A and B are shown apart, each in its own frame.
Chain A
Amino acid sequence: NAGVMQNPRHLVRRRGQEARLRCSPMKGHSHVYWYRQLPEEGLKFMVYLQKENIIDESGMPKERFSAEFPKEGPSILRIQQVVRGDSAAYFCASSPPSRERYEQYFGPGTRLTVT
């Protein structure tokens, strides 16, 4: 059973460009979460999605960031007009439905560097 897959693993963008991060959850998992890890900090929740629905986006910056989890295909975290402060590791996690949804399995992360 393949784990959570993220791509790309490393992404370099110049200021003002767009960054697209992809996440494929584990088989059988219908819940996807995105977290951001700034250098020397713990992970901070960004957004929680189910298929075609954003359930909780309380951790998402109000501007430039968006996320989706379409009916078909991976979840996408999109950052428009990136700035240096967006440089971080972005982790996707997935969980099974029902009460085990707190048991989240993480992907390897995408390390975004903004130059």
Chain B
Amino acid sequence: AQSVTQPDIHITVSEGASLELRCNYSYGATPYLFWYVQSPGQGLQLLLKYFSGDTLVQGIKGFEAEFKRSQSSFNLRKPSVHWSDAAEYFCAVGAKEYGNKLVFGAGTILRVKS
């Protein structure tokens, strides 16, 4: 069965430091890849997506992610974290073989210390 793994449940970084959130997936074919952010009590906001083409994708709020087929990974990065980035981040994967649903990782909670 398809699965999405976010190995880090919590991450704490200092404001201004760089950030990398990990995401690995298990699918047979090239998937559609997404990162969403959720602030407490709020819905999910789409940060960025990868469908095809350039494997480094830019998103909103200064985030980027890189698709690495050989590692089945789609890690999210930001060069300099702001206190307002504190939230929960979800990686999600879609694939034609599994219908129209998105499969989500368990999420990574980001804390930013000043």
- Seen from chain A, the residues whose Cβ lies within 8 Å of a Cβ on chain B are 4, 31, 33, 35, 41-45, 48, 55-56, 58-59, 91, 93, 95, 101-109, 111
Contact = CB atoms under 8 A, between A and B. Distances in A.
Contacts of A58: 99, 101
Q: Tell me the dominant secondary structure on chain B's binding face.
A: strand
Interface of B: 4, 32, 34, 36, 41-46, 49, 51, 90, 92, 94, 99-107
A108 B107 CA distance: 17
Contacts of B4: 42
A55 B101 contact: no
A111 B42 CA distance: 10
A89 to B, nearest CB: 9
Nearest to A47: B101
A92 to B, nearest CB: 9
